[in-house]
Amino acid sequence: MLDKLGWRKTDKKDATLQERMLKVRSESVPQHIAIIMDGNGRWAQKRALPRVAGHHEGMKNIRTITRCANKVGIGALTLYAFSTENWKRPRKEVEFLMRLPEEFLTSFLPELMELNIRVRMIGEIDALPTHTQKAVQNAMNTTASNTGMILNFALNYGSRREMVLSVQEIVTQVQNGTLSLEDISEETISNHLMTSQLPDPDLLIRTSGELRLSNFLLWQLAYSEFWFTEVHWPEFSDKDLLEAVESYQSRNRRYGGLKGE
């Protein structure tokens, strides 16, 4: 059984953390948070472990952050799980990474249903191994009727590739006469992106100290707040997520205007 914040009745959570979470929840929370989950390999290296051990630990940490985001009322959480550039990694590492969605989604699916969370994916699913496709598709189908937070995985995703595909679709519509050149707008482009059913992220988080976007949601992040941390992803805790949201809540988002407008 879960309480109103989604804590399990058997959990012995720190009361201060719960109070902090309630305070965050009582203010304006981001509708959509995007996270570049970086540092799995460095986390493993610091412990003299193979890189795959870091990836596995990072996968397990997705549960922690998903639960926390859901508890504070985040509408959508997009996680950069595997980029189009990640195929360049050693074959054994890629094969391991492609097994993680199956393990994670199979074990976490009952709780996702209990928490009313919907699973979605952006990226080119057809290029993924069959077993990965099946695991992702099963999770999306099983949770499709849920009405709570969206847990959105960016798998085989690259923002430049996404924009190329968007332009190709728009050009095709212009050529076949279903769209006029004059009607192409920013909204047109947004509606042809893989995130068309989601609001643009309010907050981008990147772990492990890197200060770049790495071909992630380049169009969608135009007005997002950025928050960077030295913490490696496997160690990124619910307290870290709360700190990022608290930082977001303290900022004045002007969208090019002046304060108070």
165 is an annotated ligand-binding site residue = no
Q: Phi/psi of residue 173, each to 5°?
A: -65, -35
- The active-site residue out of 14, 38, 156, 183 is 38
206 is an annotated ligand-binding site residue = yes
202 is an annotated ligand-binding site residue = no
67 is an annotated ligand-binding site residue = no
40 is an annotated ligand-binding site residue = yes
The conformation of residue 88, written as its DSSP 8-state character, comes to: G
41 is an annotated ligand-binding site residue = yes
156 is an annotated ligand-binding site residue = no
Is 3 in the active site?
no
Q: Phi/psi of residue 228, each to 5°?
A: -115, 150
Helix 51-71 to helix 91-114 angle (10° resolution) is 20
227 is an annotated ligand-binding site residue = no
89 is an annotated ligand-binding site residue = yes
- The active-site residue out of 70, 86, 146, 240 is 86
Is 138 in the active site?
no
Lookup: tokens for 74 = 């985040």
Nearest to 53 by CA among 36, 62, 41: 41
- Amino acid present at 192: H
Asked whether the beta carbons of 16 and 64 are under 8 A apart, the reply is no
Given strand 32-36, what is the order of strands in its sheet? 118-122, 150-157, 76-83, 32-36, 203-206, 225-228
E-assigned strand segments in 15-140: 32-36, 76-83, 118-122
> How far is Cα 181 from Cα 184, in angstroms, rounded to an integer?
6
155 is an annotated ligand-binding site residue = no
43 is an annotated ligand-binding site residue = yes
Task: Give the residue numbers of the binding site for Mg(2+).
Answer: 38, 225
- Catalytically annotated residues: 38, 86
Per the annotation, where are the binding residues for substrate?
A: 39-43, 51, 55, 83-85, 87, 89, 206, 212-214
Binding-site residue ranges: 38-43, 51, 55, 83-85, 87, 89, 206, 212-214, 225
